[in-house]
Amino acid sequence: MTPIHAQRTAALEIPANRFREIGHRLVDRIAEFLDSLPDQKVSPGMSPETVRAALGFKKPLPLNGSDPDQLLQETFDLMVQHSLFNGHPGFWGYITSSAAPIGALADLLAASINPNLGGWALSPMATEIEAQTVRWIAEMIGYPVDCGGTLVSGGNLANMTAFWTARRAMAPWDVRSQGLGPDRPRLRAYASTETHTWIEKAADLSGMGTGAVRWIQTDEAQRIDLNALRTQVEADRRAGDFPFLVVGTAGTVSTGAIDPLPALAEICEAEHLWFHVDGAYGAFAAALPEAPEAIAGLRQADSVALDPHKWLYAPLEAGCVLVREKKALRDTFVFHPPYYPEEDQDPDAPIFYHEYGLQNSRGFRALKVWLALRQAGLNGYRQMIADDVDLARELFEAVTAHPDLEAFTQNLSITTFRYHPPGWGATSSEGSEEINALNQKILEVLQERGQVYLSQAMVDGKFCLRACVVNFRTSAAHMRALPDLVAEAGRELADRID
Ligand SMILES: *Cc1c(COP(=O)(O)O)cnc(C)c1O
């Protein structure tokens, strides 16, 4: 084979030696940035006006091009000066992890080869790496490794993919071609009131309407009430509806509560319902040798949603859905247009990922997850996850011991608490509005100061500060400093109110 060498002049081309030069400069600056994270403010605390002005938001589309080196330098400054840094050791807001540096390099490599993981022929090694990543994620949490699975953009899409799979698998008619209609029984899904809002999007966008979701009350520990669930399923069946799905959450979004998954599995088995586990946040805790039975119960689920961009510390975006029966996943999404080759039914045949989900063309998001799994290994991950949980527990204990703070919950790596000095609305509901408002203000002040970043949760109508430790850079010293930072801010604000 004689290579054809000819050079075309194109506005986007960057010759190799120039690429090397620009790339090295960028990598140097990124390394410096990562090193400087502990000294930065977590959040820039800027108004949208300031950010837009820095960008020059209303500038028109450039007619002519610019030098790529200059562009990257400028963009680096724009980003570093106007971003919230979830890689900061003091970032515990929402369930967003700090990102593994190998993920940044993986994305560079993935974008350089640019495989399209819609079809095997367009991405031979990349498709096999994704399939191995799915296998390893299943293995990590003790789920069958021969399950179906695919990487998606995040927890929402992972959960919705499972929802659509359950709908097709459980509906007693061909719901893909016939849809839903007034002459069909109403499909019903069951989930606790603590369930993440993805389920509303799923019910709405699959044409069932959000009214199809039965919100089941929770117990005092924010877990689904099993009796209420049984009663509702029974009542719906009597009314002629068709219950099809129960969702259990492994780590709820506000307090990290874990539904009693083994008991839910039992109910689903007895009642012929699809059992899905939303483990977007907590499922990876099932990798711990000491994982509680409640969470290990996800191994009995028909499907599980997980978020590698949470507890696997992958840079955004990476979600993952696992479906026990591989065929059920494919049967939900496959069509056979004449312009695509058909997948072989042999279980060892290569996977065409466009048949396993919503996307057609797909990027190589698996690479950053696969490389991180290899860099840390199962043991490395067990250590990081267990350390995050320990830090949340230490915080809970420190808050409990602090005279001016009140601890509420600690599940997995989420701790909720509030500033509540002695004497404030201690006896009656008097002061409860005030104490909520004061804690809201504390949250804002801490975010502005930028040493730490917390988010919020409502626990029994009480506004709480919430620390989610999904951060391999956080140390015990960071955690120990937090109670006094909160108490100081609280005292200053309370003095101002008085
Ligand atoms: C984060 C989260 C989601 C949503 O996941 P995204 O990755 O943000 O789409 C769903 N459920 C739970 C329990 C979560 O923690």
How remote is the C-alpha of 430 from its chain's centroid? 38
Residue 187 is predicted with a pLDDT of: 97
Q: How far is the CA of 196 from the centre of ligand 1 (A)?
A: 7
Of 200, 199, 207, 202, which is closest to residue 247 (Cα–Cα)? 199
Residues touching ligand 1 (Cβ under 6 Å) are 95, 154-156, 159, 196, 198, 249, 251-253, 278, 280-281, 307, 319
3-state secondary structure the chain: CCCCCCCCCCCCCCCHHHHHHHHHHHHHHHHHHHHHHHHCCCCCCCCHHHHHHHHCCCCCCCCCCCCHHHHHHHHHHHHHHCCCCCCCCCECCCCCCCCCHHHHHHHHHHHHHCCCCCCHHHCHHHHHHHHHHHHHHHHHHCCCCCCEEEEECCHHHHHHHHHHHHHHHHCCCCHHHHCCCCCCCCEEEEEECCCCCHHHHHHHHCCCCHHHEEEECECCCCCECHHHHHHHHHHHHHCCCEEEEEEEEECCCCCCCECCHHHHHHHHHHHCCEEEEEECCCHHHHHCCCCCHHHHHHHHCCEEEECHHHHCCCCCCCEEEEECCHHHHHHHHCCCCCCCCCCCCCCCCCCCHHHCCCCCCCCCCHHHHHHHHHHHHHHHHHHHHHHHHHHHHHHHHHHHHCCCEEEEEEECCEEEEEECCCCCCCCCCCCHHHHHHHHHHHHHHHHHHCCCECEEEEECCEEEEEEECCCCCCCHHHHHHHHHHHHHHHHHHHHHHC
Q: What is the distance in A from the centroid of ligand 1 to the CA of 416?
A: 18
**Any idea which residue has 């510390």 for tokens?**
313
Burial class (CB in 10 A: 0-12, 13-18, 19+), 349: exposed
Question: pLDDT tens digits for 160-181?
Answer: 999 999 999 999 999 999 999 8
Q: pTM for the full model?
A: 0.96
Q: Which atom of ligand 1 is nearest to the CA of 319?
A: 7
Q: What is the pLDDT of residue 7?
A: 80
Using CA positions, which residue lies closest to atom 5 of ligand 1? 155
Residues near 85 by Cβ (< 8 Å), separated by ≥ 6? 37, 40, 42, 43, 91
> Of 253, 255, 320, 414, which is best to mutate to test ligand 1, by the most ligand atoms within 8 angstroms of its C-beta?
253
Q: What is the pLDDT of residue 428?
A: 47
pLDDT digits (tens, 9 = 90+) for 46-64: 999 999 999 999 999 999 9
Atom of ligand 1 nearest to the CA of 94: 1
**β-pairing verdict for 462-468 and 455-459:** antiparallel
Question: In sequence order, which residues have a C-beta less than 8 Å from that of residue 41 and are 6 or more positions away?
Answer: 449, 450, 451
Say if strands 242-249 and 187-192 run parallel, antiparallel, or are unpaired. Answer: parallel
Query: What are the C-alpha distances in Å from 122 to residues 14, 101, 351, 427?
Result: 24, 27, 11, 67
**Ligand 1 centroid vs 184 CA: distance in angstroms?**
31
Query: Would you state the torsion angle of the CA atoms of residues 91, 94, 100, 103, taken in this order, to the nearest 10 degrees?
Result: -140
Q: How many alpha carbons fall within 13 Å on the CB side of residue 331?
A: 14
Ligand 1 midpoint to CA 349 (Å) = 32
Protein residue with least CA distance to atom 10, ligand 1? 155
Q: Please say whether the beta carbons of 253 and 223 come within 8 A.
A: no
Residue 152 Cα to ligand 1 midpoint, Å, equals 12
- The closest-lying atom of ligand 1 relative to the alpha carbon of residue 252 is 13
Which distant-in-sequence residues (6+ apart) come within 8 Å of 341 by Cβ? 119, 121, 352
Ligand 1 centroid from CA 210, angstroms: 18
CB atoms within 10 A of CB 152: 25
CA–centroid distance, residue 329 to ligand 1 (Å): 20
Closest CA to 295 of 371, 182, 389: 389
Tallying the residues shown for the chain, one arrives at 498
Would you state the structure tokens that stand for residue 55, as one six-digit string? 């960008």
Give pLDDT, residue 430: 45
Spacing, Cα 155 to ligand 1 middle (Å): 4
Tell the residue nearest (CA) to atom 6 of ligand 1: 155
How distant, in Å, are the alpha carbons of 12, 237, 271, 272, 377 from that of 231? 63, 10, 12, 15, 44
Nearest protein CA to atom 4 of ligand 1, as residue: 155
Amino acid 105: pLDDT: 98
Q: Give the β-pairing of 462-468 and 414-419.
A: antiparallel
Nearest ligand 1 atom, CA 198: 10
Atom of ligand 1 minimally distant from the CA of 281? 15
Q: What CA–CA distance (Å, rounded) separates 26 from 498?
A: 51
CA 56 to chain centroid, in Å, comes to 32
List of residues 6+ apart from 119 with CB closer than 8 A: 127, 340, 341, 352, 353, 354
Give the distance (Å) from ligand 1 centre to CA of residue 151: 14
Q: Report whether the peptide linkage leading into residue 130 is cis, meaning its omega lies within 30 degrees of zero.
A: no
**Spatial distance between the Cα atoms of 194 and 78, rounded to a whole number of angstroms:** 38
Nearest CA to 123 out of 155, 101, 151 is that of 151
The structure tokens listed for 126 are: 């990349």
Which mutation among 95, 259, 470 tests ligand 1's pocket best, with the greatest number of atoms within 8 A of CB?
A: 95
- Closest listed residue to residue 355, CA positions, set 169, 207, 205, 149: 149
Question: Rounded to the nearest whole angstrom, what is the distance from the C-alpha of residue 141 to the centroid of ligand 1?
Answer: 18
**Atom 8 (ligand 1): residue with closest C-alpha?**
155
Question: Which of the residues in the chain have pLDDT under 70?
Answer: 342-345, 425-431, 497-498
Q: From the CA of 469, how far away is ligand 1's center (Å)? A: 15
